[in-house]
Structure 1
Amino acid sequence: MRHTALTGLLLASSVLGSASLAAAETTLTIESWRNDDLSIWQDKLIPAFEKQHPDIKVVFSPSAPPEYNAALNAKLDAGSAGDLITCRPFDASLELFNKGKLADLTSLPGMENFSDVAKAAWSTDDGSKTFCVPMASVIHGFIYNKAAFEELGLKVPTTREEFFAVLDKIKEDGNYIPMAMGTKDLWEAATMGYQNIGPNYWKGEEGRKALIAGEQKLTDEPWVAPFEELAKWKPYLGDGFEAQSYPDSQNLFTLGRAAIYPAGSWEIAPFRAQIGDSFEMGAFPPPVEKAGDKCYISDHTDIGMGLNAASKNADAAKTFLTWVASPEFANIYANALPGFFSLAKTPVEMEDPLAQEFVSWRDKCASTIRSTYQILSRGTPNLENETWVKSANVINGTETPQQAAEELQKGLASWYEPQKK
């Protein structure tokens, strides 16, 4: 009898102990638009964190990129969003913070690992509060098929004259589409086109800040000139580019049918997976006007992570975000996802040679961000979305560069006070 009672007591203690352990275990859910990264989070990032924090479980739950903003806003309004919010840069996330949807992370341990410039994409306009941990930036440029270049005897272009000479040779040969880019999805024309080559014309941060201050207008030469160059791209994009989607462009390049792909470092990981050993890729920055000119690159602060202000697991979520701010996370993330470059002060040594090529441009070119992302897309019409449309129209030949610039300026001046003068 005494033995039975003791067994029962031990069993009860065991059950209660298990229940307490289960109660102590916290599950965090991450909202993200990076559905391509699911396996990286599940196989590398989350296991590394959970090894150190076995009491916290993490679930990565992405949405499709085009649907993310709307889906996230709906979830936040309904109170069903995850604990951790993957943050787009600047205005979209700032709006969430101003609405009380994202928590203030200014004093989060680990934030000291980032410069004010790195935090700017997720800080208030005066820089006094930060609401997302910076994770990575992406760099714009051109990826090319090295085998195609060798076959045609082409040298990597450094000036615009050399760039168009290379395109002419590829077109004349006829075995490759010179550049794989379509205009169907609109954003592709602006992101891979206008924002890619534009910084060399408006001199990066100098022009971007002058536009915000109202000291330059979109009808000024530095802002019209990139459209004029885009208009010259049309003969090199292949038949039917107007109906060509972003995935179509990717496929044309990875199947070896196009010699050059205007894009950026975010393509490295998916391209590696698709291309394998079929051909080697190289990259070059946007060509300058003439040899010796200072070069500018779009080194765009792209992704961060914040805390849902309504999360019931705020303490565990802050523990995770402190880890995201750590050098360990930066090293795993940058090498698991080559082409997404750490924004931390501590340098990360990358293994991928193409990622090394992109990031090396920081040493010789001045970095800037996409011109439409900070402040200038807060009103209606939205300058970012309108730039998509105008970039596609200019390439298609349905609008002249001057017409596109005038329409953009008119839209911006209709709501943005510094541009009304």
Structure 2
Amino acid sequence: MRTPLHFAAAAIALACSGLASAGNLTIESWRVDDKALWEEVLLPAFNKANPGITIKFSPTSPPEYDSALNTRLTAGTAGDLITCRPFDVSLDLAKKGYLEKLNGIPGLKNFPESAQVAWQSDDGKSTHCLPMASVIHGFFYNKKIFADLGLGVPVTEADFFAALEKIKAAGKATPLAIGTADQWETNQIVFTGIGPNHWKGEEGRKGIISGKKKFTDPEFVSTWETMAKWAPYMSKGYQAQTYGDSQNLFGSGRAAIYPTGSWDISYFEQNSKVDFGAFKPPVQKAGDPCYISDHTDIGMGINSKSKNKADAQVFLNWLASKEFADLYTNKATGFFSLSSHAIEVKNPVAKEMIGWRNQCKSTIRLNAQIMNRGTPSMENELWNVSSQVMNLKMAPKDAAQQIQAGFAKWYTPAK
């Protein structure tokens, strides 16, 4: 049998009660931009092997998704398959009983434990969503500008700042295309992108959660110190520069380096003629081991009130297949399958970035797990202090003290 007994029993019980709707499934998702991908590529591929199961992809715009999904789940009108955000949002749904426990389904065997943590209970004993894909943080660079100036790809922070200085001295392009107006980039791209090489990835992240480490420790303060050093190489008036402005600056060829994540590959492929490559966050000094933020982004679960759990599980197991990993990674460029399948990535920039998994140790965004649950909100606080540090309005040590003090107000291990 391809389904564990508890799933099969549930399906039989539903069928006997007259509630089952065999062969018909609906996917809830916030990824409205993926509608064509699902309808034209992914679902037809699934149907080749499973012609008796009809699936409808029914997305809701990202800003409304969480509240609309909660409303439908409460009313019992939500779809059979729930696209899951990582960590607390989905964990909350699981705690309310809206997501079926997936413990023991065959497909989970294709994912390492590190990929599953975003959709598990805090103790790791229960899994409520199957991992689908992650995004990887790094830097894009303009190949022509680098070639014209004789620059090599930076490996260490010393290399990185030497390149920035040379670009600035040449005076023909902005060295770094990033601003602080929207604030989120200073945390979700910069702090959690370059930081793992300072706090040793999972060692530092888990150390903060356990209380063995504090944000005032040198490895966290040094991350903000490095960020402050970026200021002279950003655009004049970068404090008013939005994320879209940064995209335009790099995409028009007027900037040499763009701090970002793999999700931006497709944007520049479609909206720019710049020939660009990617390099991973520089290590502090030559010979240091490297760490990358390979952040769990999207998963899929089963509505606990679904009338067709058996077929929903068939679909989840297909999401765990090599076929899906190949299709999704190569069609949703910049979103990388979290499965352990070896796949050939066709896009050269995406291939470069996914290759970092073999060179570096992976971690996730520092505060993604547990740390955002209290007041003050660590996510909002990190946006605030990180942008102030890059605006040279706050000293790195003060940023560290503010984050640690806020965390200690509600999280006992941090006291």
Tell me, in whole angstroms, the C-alpha distance in 2 between the residues paired with 1:341 and 1:49.
19
Q: Which has the larger radius of gyration?
A: 1
Partner of 2:17: none
From 380, 390, 393, give the equivalent of 1:395: 390
Matched, 1:317 2:312: yes
Pairwise CA distance, 1:173: 2.2
1:25-45, Cα deviation, whole Å (9 max, x unpaired): 744332223333222222211
1:331–1:349 CA contact under 8 A, matched in 2? yes
From 349, 353, 357, give the equivalent of 1:358: 353
1:140–1:263 CA contact under 8 A, matched in 2? yes
1:305 alignment partner AA:
M
Name the CA shift for 1:319/1:242 in 2 (closer, same or farther; >3 Å): same
Tell me the number of residue pairs that the alignment of Structure 1 and Structure 2 aligns.
396
Residues 214-223 or 32-41, more deviating? 32-41
Name the CA shift for 1:345/1:173 in 2 (closer, same or farther; >3 Å): same
Q: Secondary structure at the match of 1:61?
A: strand
Partner of 1:165: 162
Q: Secondary structure at the match of 1:110?
A: helix
From 195, 210, 216, give the equivalent of 1:198: 195
1:342–1:348 CA contact under 8 A, matched in 2? no
Name the CA shift for 1:297/1:411 in 2 (closer, same or farther; >3 Å): same
Name the CA shift for 1:299/1:109 in 2 (closer, same or farther; >3 Å): same
Unpaired runs of 5+ residues, structure 1, are 1-22
Identical-residue share of aligned pairs (%): 55
Partner of 2:325: 330
From 174, 182, 187, give the equivalent of 1:177: 174
From 136, 147, 150, give the equivalent of 2:147: 150
Q: Secondary structure at the match of 1:158?
A: coil
Partner of 1:301: 296
From 385, 390, 407, give the equivalent of 2:402: 407
Q: Secondary structure at the match of 2:195?
A: helix
Tell me, in whole angstroms, the C-alpha distance in 2 between the residues paired with 1:220 and 1:403.
12
Tell me, in whole angstroms, the C-alpha distance in 2 between the residues paired with 1:136 and 1:199.
20
2:197 alignment partner AA:
N
Name the CA shift for 1:171/1:71 in 2 (closer, same or farther; >3 Å): farther
Measured on the aligned residues, the alpha-carbon RMSD in Å equals: 1.9
Pairwise CA distance, 1:334: 0.9
Partner of 2:60: 63
1:191–1:263 CA contact under 8 A, matched in 2? no
Name the CA shift for 1:217/1:156 in 2 (closer, same or farther; >3 Å): same
From 192, 196, 219, give the equivalent of 1:222: 219
From 76, 79, 83, give the equivalent of 1:82: 79
Tell me, in whole angstroms, the C-alpha distance in 2 between the residues paired with 1:32 and 1:176.
40
Q: Secondary structure at the match of 2:106?
A: coil
2:21–2:307 CA contact under 8 A, matched in 1? no
Pairwise CA distance, 1:255: 2.0
2:21–2:308 CA contact under 8 A, matched in 1? no
Matched, 1:132 2:138: no
Q: Secondary structure at the match of 1:302?
A: strand
Tell me, in whole angstroms, the C-alpha distance in 2 between the residues paired with 1:373 and 1:285.
21
2:174–2:255 CA contact under 8 A, matched in 1? yes
Unpaired runs of 5+ residues, structure 2, are 1-19
Name the CA shift for 1:360/1:70 in 2 (closer, same or farther; >3 Å): same
